[in-house]
Chains A and B, each alone.
Chain A
Amino acid sequence: MTLGLLLAISGAALAVILGGIGSSIGVGLAGQAASGVMSEDPGKFGSVLLLVALPGTQGIYGFLSGFLVILKLGLISGAVLQPTVNQGVAIFFACLPVGVAGLVSAIHQGKVCTAGVQMVAKQPKESVKPMVLAALVETYAVLGLLATVLLLNGIKLP
């Protein structure tokens, strides 16, 4: 196994790990608030569920970026490519946008969703508006994903 391959794999791992950490924290925050709200009115499960799920997307973006790297390296098909060190470093850095932007934005999106859950507690009919606000935060994770995908697409392996 070459150093290039190792670097590329660590990039994939980092994308999944950072996105996963961010989403866990974000979903965790919103989930606690949701349980609090449901202790008063369990019927709000449906309207708070989506708000709790929203900060989970960063983890998914991280995972799918990691998966793209796995595909690119041929780790699933079995015909594993051996990128050079430079290529490995390039793939490693290409994974950073989705990882880091996902980590930070998921946490902050979790906070927005927490506030949204509390809003739904008082205004049960307005469950979509806080979702739009949360999507404003998610923009940067989406852009991070986009940058990662475009960068990965640009790195041509032999």
Chain B
Amino acid sequence: MPVLQEAGLVHLEEAKFEGIDLRRKTVDASDADRTLARLKHALDVFADMDETPGLKRLLRPKPELSLKAMSGALNRGYGRVLDKLERLESERNALSAEMKLLHKEADFLEPLRDIVLPLEAFRGTRTVEVRLVVVPAAEAERLEEKAAEGPFWFEVVSRDKRSCRVVAIFPRESVDEGEAVLEELGAVQIDLGARVAAAGRGERIEDLLAANRLERDRKASAAAGLEAGIRALAVHAPALMPVYDVLMNEREMLLADRFLGETEAVSCIEGWVRVADKARLEKKVAEVSDAAQVCFREPLPDEEPPVFLDNPKAARPFEIITNLYGLPERGYLDPTIPLAPFFFIFVGLSVSDGGYGILVVALSLLYMKFAHPRAGARLFAKLALYLGISNIVFGTFFGAWLGFPIRSVLLMDPLKDPIPFLALSLGLGFLQVWVGTLLSMITGLRNKAYLESIFVKGGWLLLLPSLILYFVTKHPAAGVAALIGAAGVIFFAAPSRNPFSRFFGGLYSLYGISGYVSDTLSYSRILALGLSTGVIGMVVNNLTQTAFRIPVAGWVLAPLIFVGGHLFNLGIGFLGGFVHSMRLQFVEYFTKFYKGGGRPFKPLRLENKYVEFVE
């Protein structure tokens, strides 16, 4: 297993052989899960304490770990760090819970600070009852009236807008009467509870508050000490990162054991391997032991092998788009190369600003140079680079640079006359729809659906352009070609023995032309998106000029408007351009020839989160 994992060539599946009863291993990864969760928590805590500025952190490459040092990473007592961190954290959490209670107590007592009576007084005496109540502020004046009416004594100790706190004293024999008065005033009793019983001689609420303050300060400084202890542990973060990654891979390896099938003497495992990797796998396995054997076979007709996209390096960034939609099912083309040029052009035309292009190119180059991203992040940076380049090209000839069109090289100016640009968008759309149909014909031929591919798909391929040509030129040859194409669709689209249903079914299929028309019209969005970036860029420049005319303040304001406005436009321009270009691929293009739903080729291999494994 370690060899397979290091080689990273095989997508494992459960081993099964007909007629042989294989024993399965039961795999329990809960220990590994627990340790990984603890490590992850510790690393998250340390990451929060990391005071490196965000940009620098983003650009910081991952530390490297050699394969030989992998097992050594686990032997440096990471458990002690985790234990200590968890102990400190639980102590700190207990302290902060206690501090919360103290705060609550202080909040309760603070309005009563001015009561000069010692707490013990609230126990009352043999003859009088002492109460602490809250009375609505509006009733405060009536207190004195009531005091004059009966044997009561009221003293307001504190007041705010809505209520005041009152010490009420009345003789024990008139308790009922006193309570009635308090009720009439809308008073609510404050229960000092155990504080009264626990109070020392002469102790007042002020003293309680002072003690509370002292206790809180003591606890806060203890918590700060614990926090510093946790902070000090953060020096271990770089040592914990490789531990996490090594354990994560050990867990994967452990889980891979569930695919094993065992008999008394042998263990076997099945999996998928790329044809190109066959020899490498054989060599790796031979290194393990002479007794280890590998056998290869082709996928069976009813099997769904996992899918691995294999594109030339230049086209690989566009695999992001394919992956988002879903990998091809067996028998379908990898759409990455067919979509790449269209996507490149569409994003360029829908953003169409060379200045933004330069900025995106610079940012992606800087990111690649300093952060050394791998895998997905690297592909994305490269895709951004391509889209930036596309904007430099299309921005120069069809759009603007930071909202300023360079009129001398402009091939068409959509702001002055949008019609040629609309024609270009629709033309590109028609081309993509046509190519999509062509690819569907090729896929059909590969899957041996000859009749349908040649006559129906071929019919459409002939019909669509020749129909347009006929409408534009009225040349009879184009009309004839269109009719031939239509005939292909009519006679072969509905494969039925009954000639009538075949003919009318085919005629009905011809109605599918509305689909082609609406698909093509959908590409008009390229014009709208391109225009919107152009116009907003222009608005920003206009506002900047206007702001410039304001004396003094304008000199500060204008650059702010210029930079902020263009950054905003870049953001929404690229968001719109990217998402809408992607939609055109998915909805208008892929539906012609492509079916996603393949499962990804996921070999057992070394995965990394915090470090890079190097040979």
Residues of A within 8 A of B (CB): 50, 53-54, 56-57, 60-61, 64, 67-68, 76, 128-129, 131-132, 134-136, 138-139, 142-143, 145-146, 149-150, 153
Known pairs A50-B575, A138-B580, A139-B522; list 17 more (Cβ under 8 Å): A57-B576, A60-B532, A60-B572, A64-B531, A68-B535, A132-B583, A134-B579, A142-B525, A142-B529, A142-B580, A143-B524, A143-B525, A143-B528, A146-B422, A149-B527, A153-B418, A153-B419
The distance from the CB of A151 to the nearest CB of chain B, in whole angstroms, is 11
Chain B residues with CB under 8 Å of A138's CB are 580
The distance from the CB of A142 to the nearest CB of chain B, in whole angstroms, is 4
Q: State the 3 A-B residue pairs at the shortest beta-carbon distance, nearest first.
A: A146-B528, A64-B535, A142-B525
The distance from the CB of B399 to the nearest CB of chain A, in whole angstroms, is 14
Chain B residues with CB under 8 Å of A136's CB are 583, 587
Inter-chain contact B528/A129, CB cutoff 8 Å:
no
A150 to B580, CA, bound (A): 20
- B99 at the A interface (CB under 8 A): no
Q: Which of A53, A76, A132, A145 contacts B575 (CB 8 A)?
A: A53
Given contacts A60-B532, A60-B572, A64-B539, contact A131 B579 (CB under 8 A): yes
Residues of B within 8 A of A (CB): 324, 417-419, 422, 522, 524-525, 527-529, 531-532, 535-536, 539, 542, 572, 575-576, 579-580, 582-583, 586-587
Chain B residues with CB under 8 Å of A153's CB are 417-419
Inter-chain contact A149/B418, CB cutoff 8 Å:
yes
Q: Which of B417, B419, B524, B536 contacts A64 (CB 8 A)?
A: B536
The distance from the CB of B606 to the nearest CB of chain A, in whole angstroms, is 20
Query: DSSP class of B's interface residues: helix, strand, loop or mixed?
Result: helix
A119 to B579, CA, bound (A): 18
The distance from the CB of B415 to the nearest CB of chain A, in whole angstroms, is 9
Given contacts A64-B532, A135-B580, A136-B583, contact A150 B418 (CB under 8 A): yes
Residue in chain B with minimal CB distance to A148: B528
A53 to B573, CA, bound (A): 12
The distance from the CB of B23 to the nearest CB of chain A, in whole angstroms, is 36
Given contacts A54-B575, A146-B528, A153-B417, contact A67 B586 (CB under 8 A): no
Chain A residues with CB under 8 Å of B418's CB are 149-150, 153
Inter-chain contact B525/A139, CB cutoff 8 Å:
yes
The distance from the CB of A46 to the nearest CB of chain B, in whole angstroms, is 12
Inter-chain contact B528/A142, CB cutoff 8 Å:
yes
A13 to B5, CA, bound (A): 64
Residue in chain B with minimal CB distance to A144: B528
Chain B residues with CB under 8 Å of A143's CB are 524-525, 528
Given contacts A64-B536, A128-B324, contact A53 B525 (CB under 8 A): no
